[in-house]
Structure 1
Amino acid sequence: MVPPLSALSHLAVRWLHVFGMAVTVGGALFAWSLLRDDTPSTTALVVATAYERLFWGAMGLLVMTGVGNLGALTPSVPGGTWGTALSAKLLLVALLLLGSLVRSLLVVDARRRPDAETVGTAALRVGYAATALVLGVVVVFAEVLAHG
């Protein structure tokens, strides 16, 4: 039997993991939906900047709790197709982080430009759509890993 405090900590870690994913996916979809052509660039950049801060904080939370969740399985981490799915998920997360770094730098660059009021938001819209799409695939891998 699992001690109550241990069970509570496992539940808290898993809840934080799901919360972090909800912030990253929901925030990307929200930013994407607000970055329409008729949205003023200054408003779009404020939304983008806020999301970038939330995204990186939530990704840090996801990495920490993901390692904690994986550590709870050790030393019995399965191999085979489960191990392959885990490797694919981790590779996808690494690519997501790399792409997100580019997206964040685009936001920083757009905010620093003297013509920030008129800067186009099409690249950011594509970036947030891609972020939401990749995160959706990561969620599918997470479901496969959690439930087989």
Structure 2
Amino acid sequence: MVPLPPPRPLAVTTLGVRWLHVLAATVAVGGGVLTWLRFRVEPFDGEGRDAVRLARAYEWLFWAAVGTLVMTGVGNLGAFAPTLPGGAWRATLDAKLALVVVVLVGSAVRTRLLVRVRRSAGGVPMRLLRRAYGATALGLVALLTLAEVLAHG
């Protein structure tokens, strides 16, 4: 049996960046869906303390995951920059990047809404928060779908 050569450092680094990208996507998508589901089961006549507490925790994880996704996404593109295909693949990449901007702007609005809820003495607008987290989850699942198309055609 012929021993395999040791992996090239660049290959190990590229694998690490991809692994970190997938981990961050898992945190963002999974947390978004979980938070949205928590708002769906929270009774509208209550104050929604548990759902809001979960949302606050998710916001920290979400923005950390987004930062990681942006950095590793740029790294992934940079690793393939000279050989990026055009045509339908490029159109899909452009659609994904446009959706990233939409999700980020919507998420900034969602985060601001949660901050406003925390500062208000009145009731929590549960329906609005539920819709905001639902839109986040939907946008992230759409991004995940586009990522799958880009990765595997």
State if a TM-score over 0.5 links the two structures. yes
1:57-112 residue CA offsets vs partner (Å, 9 max, x unmatched) = 10000000000000010112111111111000000000000000110000000000
1:3-82 → structure 2 map (5 Å cutoff): 3-35=7-39, 36-38=41-43, 40-82=47-89
Bigger mean CA offset, 84-93 vs 6-15: 6-15
Q: Which amino acid aligns with 1:145?
A: L
SS of equivalent to 2:83: coil
Aligned to 1:139: 144
Distance 1:122 1:2, change over 3 A: farther
> TM-score by structure 1 length?
0.92
The answer to whether the 8 Å contact 2:42/2:51 transfers is: no
> TM-score by structure 2 length?
0.89
Bigger mean CA offset, 74-83 vs 56-65: 74-83
Aligned to 1:125: 130
Choose from 98, 107, 123 the match for 1:100: 107
The runs of 4+ residues in structure 1 deviating greater than 4 Å are none
Count of residue pairs brought into register by the alignment = 146
Radius of gyration: which is bigger?
A: 2
Give the drift of 1:124.
1.0
Q: Gapped runs of 5+ residues in structure 2?
A: none
**RMSD over aligned Cα, in angstroms?**
1.6
The answer to whether the 8 Å contact 2:47/2:124 transfers is: no
SS of equivalent to 1:119: coil
The answer to whether the 8 Å contact 2:21/2:73 transfers is: yes
